[in-house]
Structures are given as structure tokens and as C-alpha cells.
Amino acid sequence: MSAPTPPGPAIPPLERAALYRLFARLLTAAPDAALLDALGAPAAAAVLERAAPGFSAWLGALGSDGQAALGTEFARLFLLPRGAAPYASAWIEGDRERLAGQLAAFTHRLMAALDMQQTGSQGNLSQDHLGLLFAVTAEALSRPEAAALAAHAEGQLLGPWVRAFADALYQRAESPLYRALGRLIPAVVPLETSAETPMETL
């Protein structure tokens, strides 16, 4: 069963950029106390509650044991086999090794166009890692002069895998946090601009 996607109008670019940065953070490392505090803020909690009813009550009762369980779930979903692999090439039909190489080359060209470097928690990520793809697209969206690059990134880097990955994440997640993520990703990415296959000429 596909993850239900909340209907709604298109989200403005700067708001999408902020959400993409959140997605990148959640896909790159297990949540820490600071992130969970931020997610409990009224505006963020309201969005997550709509995506996964019960989120606010779950977060309020989380405690230190629950935070440790989130670390375990992050590993199960994103680091271990039979989870929801956080690599775009895993969710696009075709030769995965070739697709991973094409995605990496496309991402490298886009980052060069944005004069962007892989740093911090993204420094060691594969260039088809979903966390990096969301971060790069967020950077493009945050720059008004890069609107064409941003549209290209959303259609080419995000579009081809969003639905398949989100469906798998929603089905395999146990916590409201990752179920909410599985609902929000396809609700935020403008799928009507997506390419069927990635990496047309940048």
C-alpha cells in the first residue's frame, strides 16, 4: 500500500528548501536531543501531527529510552539490509551501478554550479545518498538566481525515486517520526515536474 500523501497547494521554494534540509538531516544521522526539541516546536509538531496522527503525544512521552530506540530504528531503516536504503539508485529501475555513477556525476556538476562543497555530516556520503541530494536541492532553492538549477534538481535528482522510497519508508517505519517522513517527502517534492529517468544534461 502506498503512503497516503496529504493534499495541498504547492509549497513556496524557500519553505521547500527548509523542509528539504530537515529531510536531509533525518536521512543522514539518527535524531539527537536538539533536533527532537526543534521538532516539538508548535509549527513543526503541527505539520508532523498531520502527517502521522499521534506524533505529538509520542514525542512528548519519548524519553531517553525512546531516543535510543530511534537510533536503533535509524540503523534498521537506513544502514542495514531490507530497510529503506537511502540511495537514489536503489529506487530507480535499471542497472544500479551505472545509475549510481550517473547520479554521482550529475550531483557533482550541480554542486560545482552552486560552488557547494560536501562538509560536516555530509562529507563522507555517496553522491547518490538521499540526504546529500536533498541538501543540494535545498541550496539551489534558497538562491533566487538558481531557480532553473533548482527546478532541474527537483525533477532530475529527486523526482525519479521519491514515490518508491517514500512508500517503502512508510511501510517499514515503526515510529511516528519516520512514518511522517514517508508521508511528507512525496507531499513536498513537486512530482509533476519529475523526470521518469534522472540525469538529463545539466
Span 42-94, pLDDT tens digits? 989 988 988 889 999 999 999 888 899 999 999 999 999 989 999 988 898 77
pLDDT at residue 5 tops 60:
no
| pLDDT score, position 193 | 52
pLDDT at residue 149 tops 60:
yes
∠178-108-12 over CA atoms, to 5°? 50
| Higher local confidence (pLDDT), 46 or 123 | 46
| pLDDT score, position 120 | 67
Pairwise CA distance, residues 73 & 83, whole Å? 10
Share of the chain above pLDDT 90, in %: 49
pLDDT band at residue 121 under the 50/70/90 scheme = low
Average pLDDT, the chain: 86
Structure-block grid coordinates of residue 160: 525519479
Domain 13-193 part of CATH 1.10.3480.10: yes
Q: Which of 16-25, 70-79, 122-131 has the lowest mean pLDDT?
A: 122-131
| Higher local confidence (pLDDT), 81 or 124 | 81
CB 188 within 8 A of CB 154: no
Structure-block grid coordinates of residue 100: 549510481
Q: Which of 45-54, 76-85, 111-120, 142-151 has the lowest mean pLDDT?
A: 111-120
pLDDT at residue 199 tops 80:
no
pLDDT band at residue 202 under the 50/70/90 scheme = low
Q: What SS3 state is found at 137?
A: helix
Q: What SS3 state is found at 129?
A: strand
What pTM does this model have?
0.86
Unique residue bearing C-alpha cell 528548501: 17
CB 125 within 8 A of CB 132: yes
pLDDT at residue 197 tops 80:
no
